[in-house]
Amino acid sequence: MDGMHPGTTLPSRDAWEKVTGEAVYMPDLVIPGMLHGKLLRSPHAHARIRGIDTAAALAMPGVACVVTGSDAAALPAPVYGVVLWDQPLLATDRARYVGDPVAAVVAVDEATAFRAAQAIRVDYEPLPPLMDVDAAMAPGAPVLFDEPAAGPGLSVGVGSRFLRDPAPNVLCEYGFTYGDAEAEFAASAHVFTDSFAFSKLAHGFLEPLVNIARWQAGRVELWSNNQDPFVLRGDVARVFGLPLHAVRFHTPLVGGGFGGKSYCKVEPLVALMARKARAPVRLAMSFDESILTTTKHPCTITLTSGVDAKGRLTARRADILLEAGAYSDASAMVAVKSGFRIGGPYRWRAMDSLARAVRTTTVPGGSFRGFGGTQSSWASESQIDMMARRLGACPVAFRKLNALDPGEPFAPGDSGMDSDLAAGLDAVTTRLGWTAPLDAGRGRGIAIGLKDGGGTGNHAQAIVRVTHGGEAIVSAAVVEIGQGARTAICRLAAETLGIDESKVRYAPIDTDHTAPDNGTHVSCGTTVTGLAIVEAAAEARRQVMDFAAGALGCTPEALVLEGWSVRRGNEAHPLEPMIRRHYGGMGWEFIGRGAFKDPYIASAPLNAKNMFWIPCWSGAEVDVDRETGKVTVLRLVVGADAGRAVDHVACIGQIEGAAAQALSQALFEELRYEGEVPVNAAPLDYRMLQTPDLPAVFEGFVMEHGTGPGPGALKGIGEAGMLGIAAAIANAIEDAAGIRLTSLPFSPEKVLAALDAKG
C-alpha cells in the first residue's frame, strides 16, 4: 500500500517521515557543549571490586571526569529496577556479569573517552560464577545479594501469590492456582508431562541506546530513546532525591526497542555523569553493549496436563524457571505474566502454575516483545499439539474442542475471551492449505499463541488543543516505537473532532508539558491512550459547539459541525471568523482533557480484569532436510484480531514484523556462553534472520472481531505475531519428520540429533 491508508489518499505521517529521512532519532540529537561518555565493563562474571585506579584516565588530555561506584553509592537511592530495586548505577562492591558497568568516563569525544576507559585499572577478586539456573539453585551456591531487593514489590489478587526472595538466589516466585489439580489428574484418562526450553536472546534493535543529560539551576533534563518517559522521571527523581518537577524527559521517535528500551536502563548514570562533568553528556552504546544491557529471559518450562476420555482438557501444572540474570529489571513482572498465561487459550478445570525468576551471573533479563507470553505460548502450544498426536486426534479439532468461547472467562475472576478463536483458526488453516497433499519431507503445523493486553496500572491522560483555525494538537505520552502510534492517535482525534486528519499534529513528548501515562507497554498504547484522546477530543468539540451556540443564539443541539463550520438548518457559519470576532486577532484555543484508568478489581487474579486478549493464529509449512538437518520454512501464515483496524497497513506491518522476529528466534537466535563469556555478543557473530531466510510465502492477516475495549472496539496487536510461531514450526517439523524438538533454536545439529535418536 506504499504507506497509504486504506480508503484515503493521505500518506501515513510516520511512514513519510521515516522514508524521507525527516524523522529525528536520538543519534541525530546534538546539545550545545555536550561531552561524550563511555563505559568500562567487567571482564568477570562474578568478582569483588577491591579497588579502582583512575589516575591514568584522568591524566589524559580531553578527559573531564571519571565516575565510579563510590560516586553512585553516595546518591540518596543508588539502585533501581522494576518493582524490585537491586541494580546499581555502577558496580560498587562487586561485578555480577561479564559486561557489568564498573566505571564511566566523560571526555571531549567518544574516542578519547574510550581510550581513557581502557586506561582505568580495576583490582578484581574473582568469585565463583553462577552461569545457569541449576548452578544458582544448587545447595551451597554463593549468594549474589546479601540483602533482599528493595522496592514495592507486586500486589496480586485472588488465586495468585507473589513472594520476593523465597530462596537463595531466587529473586521472586509467582503462583497461580484454581480448582483441584490433583483430583482432576486422578480422574483424567491421560496425563502427559513434557519439558521445553527457551534460549537467551538479544533484542537486536538497530538504533543504539542513546541518552543525553544536562543540569541547569538544580534541575536535570534528559533526552532518551526509552518508551517510559514518566516512569523514568520517577526513577531519576528517586535516585537523586529530587522532586518530580526537577526532572524533565524528552522522548523522540524510537528506532525499535522490542522491550529493550523500556524501563530504566542507564538514564540515572548519564545524569550522574553530567552532574560530575558539569556539562551536558551524551552516552551512546554500541550494538555489542546493547546486548550486554538486557536480554530476553531464557527458561525451562515443565508442563503436566490432563485430558479426559472425551478429549477435553482437565488440569495443568506448570513449573517455570526463568533465568533473571544478574539484576531484577522486569523479571518479577515477566514471572507473573508467564505463570499466568501458561494455560493458553483453553478452558481448564484446574490450574497450578509456579514461575520463579532465578539470579545468575549473566546479562539481566528484561522486557521483550511478548513479555513472558512468547515463552509460555511456545511450551503450551507445543504440548497441546503433542497431546493431540498422542491421542490420535486432529490438532485443529483438538484445539477447537478445548478453545475458550467468546465471552468465556480466561480464569475465575478474569475477563472473557473477546476473540473468536475458532474463526481465527479456520482463517489460518484455510490460508495454509491444511488438508492439501504434501511432498515427502514436508509438514504443516499450527498454533494459537495468547497473551493478555494488560490489567491494573494501565492509565493515560491526554490533552487536545483545537486552534481558532480548526487545527488540533494532541498531547499524550504514547511513544512511537515503530507501531504507528502517532498516526493512529491523530486519526482517533480527527474522527472525534470531525476534522481532516491532516490538520491534527502529535506534540513532541516532554514531561514538563505532555499529559502523562504509565508507559508504552503490552500493546495498550492505542487502546488506553486512544480512550483518553477520544474523551479529550470530545470535550474540545463540546467547547466548540457551546461557543458557536452562544455566538449564534441557539442551543448546541441545533447545530451540526461540518469541517470547520457549523450548520444551522441550511445556513453554514465558518468558525474561524466567529472566533476571531469574539476573541480578537490572536484567536483562541479550545482545550479538552481526557483520562483513562483500568479499574482495580480485588477479585481478579492480577488485581484487575485484563482489558483485552491478544491471540495469534499461526501456521507453518516446512521442509526438513534429513541429510543436513536444515529446516526451511516454506510458508508462514499469521493473523491477529485488532478489534477494529484503525490503520490496516500498520496492523499488517506489526503482525508480519513480529512474526519475522519470532521466526528468527525459532531458527537462529541464541546468546551463547562459553564458560563465563558471551561469545557471540556482537553484530557479526549474533545470527539473526536475513532476507533470504524469509519464507517464499509469508502472509499476515488482520481479523476485526469488533469486541475490543478501545475507541470503535479496537484493541492492540503489537506483540501478537510473536506468540505462536515457534510452536507452529516445531509442530510442522514433527509432521514432516516425526521428531519433536523441545528447545530453541531449531538448529541443524538438534534436528540431526533427533533424527539419529529416532533411528
- Residue type (1 letter), 360: T
Mean pLDDT score, 321-330: 98
3-state class (DSSP) for residue 182: helix
Is 178 inside a domain boundary?
Answer: no
C-alpha atoms less than 13 angstroms from C-alpha of 202 in its C-beta half-sphere: 28
Amino acid found at 151: G
Q: How far apart are CA 126 and CA 47, in angstroms?
A: 4
Cβ–Cβ < 8 Å for 404, 410: yes
**Res. 148: pLDDT tops 60:** yes
Q: Which amino acid is residue 749, in one-letter code? A: E
CB atoms within 10 A of CB 251: 27
The pLDDT of residue 4 is 33
pLDDT digits (tens, 9 = 90+) for 719-741: 999 999 999 999 999 999 999 99
Q: Which residues contact 59 (CB under 8 A, 6 or more apart)?
A: none
Q: How far, CA to CA in Å, does 455 sit from each of 94, 382, 602, 715?
A: 37, 27, 12, 13
- List helix spans (H) across 226-330: 229-240, 267-277, 287-291
The gap from C-alpha 395 to its chain's centroid, in whole angstroms, comes to 30
At 40 the pLDDT is 98
Residues 580 and 716 in one domain: no
Specify whether 607 is located in the same domain as 711: yes
**E-assigned strand segments in 453-588:** 459-467, 472-475, 504-506, 509-510, 560-562, 565-568, 571-574
437 in any annotated domain: yes
- CATH code, domain carrying 64: 3.90.1170.50
Half-sphere exposure of 708 (CA within 13 A, CB side): 32
State the chain's mean pLDDT as an integer: 94
The verdict on 238 and 279 lying in the same domain is yes
Alpha helices for 403-503 (secondary structure H): 421-432, 485-497
pLDDT over 70 percentage in the chain: 98
Give the pLDDT confidence of 491-507 residue by residue, as tens digits: 999 999 999 999 999 99
Choose the weakest-confidence range: 2-16, 118-132, 527-541, 699-713.
2-16
**pLDDT given for residue 457 in this prediction:** 72
- Specify whether 67 is located in the same domain as 102: yes
Q: Which helix (H) or strand (E) holds 728?
A: helix 725-737
Q: Are residues 79 and 223 in the same domain?
A: yes
* Residue 177 forms part of a structural domain: no
pLDDT at 586: 79
**Is 275 part of any domain?**
yes
DSSP 621-669: EEEE-TTT--EEEEEEEEEEE-SS-SSHHHHHHHHHHHHHHHHHHHHT-
Q: Looking at 539, 563, 597, which one is the last position of a domain?
A: 597
Rounded to whole angstroms, the Cα distance separating 338 from 320 reads: 8
Q: Do 218 and 282 sit in the same domain of this protein? A: yes
pLDDT confidence of residue 11: 47
Start-to-end Cα distance in the chain: 49
Interval 527-556 mean pLDDT: 96
Q: Report the candidate in 176, 214, 227, 469 with the shortest Cα–Cα distance to residue 348.
A: 176
- What confidence category does residue 22 fall into, taking pLDDT thresholds of 50, 70 and 90? confident
C-alpha cell of residue 45: 562474571
Residue 389 domain boundaries:
299-455+603-758
CATH number at residue 557: 3.30.365.10
Residue 195 lies in a domain: no
Q: pLDDT-derived band of residue 485, with 50, 70 and 90 as boundaries?
A: confident
pLDDT at 312 over 70: yes
Pairing of strands 350-359, 673-674: unpaired
Q: List all residues 6 or more positions away from 287 whose beta carbon is below 8 Å from its beta carbon.
A: 208, 682, 683
Q: Are 685 and 730 in contact (CB under 8 A)?
A: no
**β-strands 94-95, 47-53 pairing:** antiparallel
The per-residue pLDDT for 19 is 84
Domain boundary, last residue among 535, 566, 597 = 597
120 pLDDT higher than 50:
yes
The answer as to whether 189 is a domain residue is no
Which class for 2: exposed (0-12), middle (13-18), buried (19 or more C-beta within 10 A)?
Answer: exposed
Q: What's the pLDDT tens digit per position in 156-210?
A: 999 999 999 999 999 999 999 999 999 999 999 999 999 999 999 999 999 999 9
Q: Are residues 221 and 95 in the same domain?
A: yes
Residues 578 and 695 in one domain: no
pLDDT(10) > 50: no
Closest CA to 398 of 380, 384, 419, 382: 384
CB atoms inside a 10 Å sphere around CB 227? 26
Q: Based on the domain organization, do 608 and 736 belong to the same domain?
A: yes
Per-residue pLDDT at 481: 86
Same domain, 490 and 593: yes
What pLDDT is recorded for position 7?
34
Which pLDDT tens digit goes with each residue over 426-435?
999 999 999 9
pLDDT for the residue numbered 6: 37
User: In this predicted structure, what is the pLDDT of residue 226?
Assistant: 95
Range with the lowest mean pLDDT among 123-127, 170-174, 252-256, 729-733? 252-256
Q: CB neighbours (10 Å) of residue 397?
A: 12
446 and 408 belong to one structural domain: yes
* Mean pLDDT, residues 566-576 taken together: 94
Question: Which range among 94-103, 522-531, 635-644 shows the weakest confidence by mean pLDDT?
Answer: 522-531
| pLDDT given for residue 526 in this prediction | 87
Over residues 511-538, the mean pLDDT reads 91
What pLDDT, on a 0 to 100 scale, did the predictor assign at position 342? 98
Distance CA 263, CA 522 (A): 13
Residues 477 and 518 in one domain: yes
Q: Which residues pair with 459 in a beta bridge?
A: 597
Kindly indicate the confidence band of residue 509, based on its pLDDT and cuts at 50, 70 and 90: very high
In a domain, 649, yes or no: yes
Residue 199 belongs to some domain of the structure: no
CA Rg, the chain, in Å?
A: 27
Please state the domain count of the chain.
Answer: 3
Pairing, β 79-80 against β 87-88: antiparallel
| 456: confidence class by pLDDT, cuts 50, 70, 90 | low
Domain stop point among 271, 291, 311: 291
C-alpha to C-alpha distance for 732 and 411, rounded to whole angstroms = 30
